[in-house]
Amino acid sequence: MIKVLFVCLGNICRSPMAEALFRDYVAKEGWEDTVIIDSAATGPWHVGKPPHPGTLAKLEEVGVSSEGLIGREISKADMEEFDYVIGMDNSNLENIAKLGAGTKNVYRMLDFSERFRGLEVPDPYFTGDFQETYELLCEACSGLLEEIRRKLS
């Protein structure tokens, strides 16, 4: 079993979009019982709330289910439970590190992308560009899928 947690600031834009996209990728591989996927925020602002309307619209547009996406805050226990804790930007990584649970399993989302390695996924809550976020997340989700494929083989 491999467990993946996507993390962003509020868990309403980037991380739930990544969760939904990666669930779709994993389902197409038939790995639903092998790969567990979740998302969380580094702060409490949107706990219990659905994703941002822009995220929901983009997922609907591309035919990816948003079912079950509900905001929650990351916890120290998540650091032990998940094999991959994936932040969207450097600020997310800093906030994850503040949990004090180590960073051996912490990654930046675009480090799974050949083309965009080292860059950050901009927050569409502020930029309004959900298309850019979608494209970057698709690229990185493909790379993450390849990494997990190697681990499972």
Contact 85, 18 (CB under 8 A): no
Catalytic residues: 8, 14, 123
Count of CB atoms situated within 10 Å of the CB of 75: 12
Q: What is the pLDDT of residue 95?
A: 97
Residue 153 identity (one-letter amino acid): S
Q: What is the pLDDT of residue 49?
A: 98
Q: What is the pTM of this model?
A: 0.98
Six-digit token string for 113: 């992308």
Reference 145, options 47, 58, 39, 18; nearest CA is: 18
Cα(49)–Cα(69) distance, integer angstroms:
8
Reference 85, options 10, 15, 13; nearest CA is: 15
Q: Give the domain 2-152 fold.
A: Rossmann fold (3.40.50)
Cα(144)–Cα(3) distance, integer angstroms:
12
- What does the pLDDT look like over 5-49, one tens digit per residue? 999 999 999 999 999 999 999 999 999 999 999 999 999 999 999
Question: Residue 130: left (phi > 0), alpha (psi -120 to 50), or beta?
Answer: alpha
Q: What is the pLDDT of residue 90?
A: 97
Helix (H, G, I), strand (E, B) or coil at 66: coil
- Long-range Cβ contact pairs of 111-118 (< 8 A, separation 24 or more): 111/140, 112/86, 112/140, 112/141, 112/142, 112/143, 112/144, 112/147, 113/139, 113/140, 113/142, 113/143, 114/143, 115/139, 116/140
